[in-house]
Amino acid sequence: MCISTLGTMTRVSRIDDRLAEARQGWHRMTPAAARTAQCDGALLVDTRTPWQRQMQGDLPGALIIDRTVLEWRLDPSGDDRIPEASPQALVIVICRQGYSSSLAACSLRSLGINATDVIGGVEAWISAGLPLHRGDVDERC
């Protein structure tokens, strides 16, 4: 989409283009499919901020990994990886609305990690009536 600025056409947002590019070539999951995959052994990784998690609730069994260290914790060949990081693992990234998780999954995929994300993020998870959790979480700093 373009807007006119003093008679010239200017792109509204380059990030929209980057997001569309990041989502090409792989299958994103619905919240229900993500929950099923998690129950079947996939790693559900929540990258929301503490404030967002406090406001919305946590997802049962999700690993909490800050976006700033995500690639280091999930790269199976890295020294700073978590024990669950393996070349065979399916990693499902979830954020609040499903935008930053797409970019995160794309970054993980560029490292050879089998990663995807959740369409609509936690907001869609909640709308789908999927379970939430209050209490202790598995946070991997």
pLDDT (0 to 100) of residue 134: 84
Q: Closest Cα to residue 28, out of 18, 37, 41, 39?
A: 37
Residue 73: which pLDDT band, with cuts at 50, 70 and 90?
Answer: very high
Alpha-carbon distance values, 119 to 3, 15, 74, 99, 128 (Å): 28, 17, 21, 8, 12
pLDDT in tens, 89-98: 999 999 999 9
- Residue type for position 1: M
64 in Cβ contact with 137 (< 8 Å): yes
pLDDT in tens, 20-71: 999 998 899 999 999 999 999 999 999 999 999 999 999 999 999 999 999 9
For the chain, which domains are there? Answer: 50-141 (3.40.250.10)
29 in Cβ contact with 117 (< 8 Å): yes
Average pLDDT, the chain: 91
Q: Is the confidence at residue 139, as pLDDT, over 50?
A: yes
Q: Which residue has the tokens 């991997």?
A: 140
Residues whose CB falls within 8 Å of the CB of residue 98, separated by 6 or more in sequence, listed in order: 28, 117, 118, 119, 120, 121, 123, 124
Q: Is the confidence at residue 7, as pLDDT, over 70?
A: no
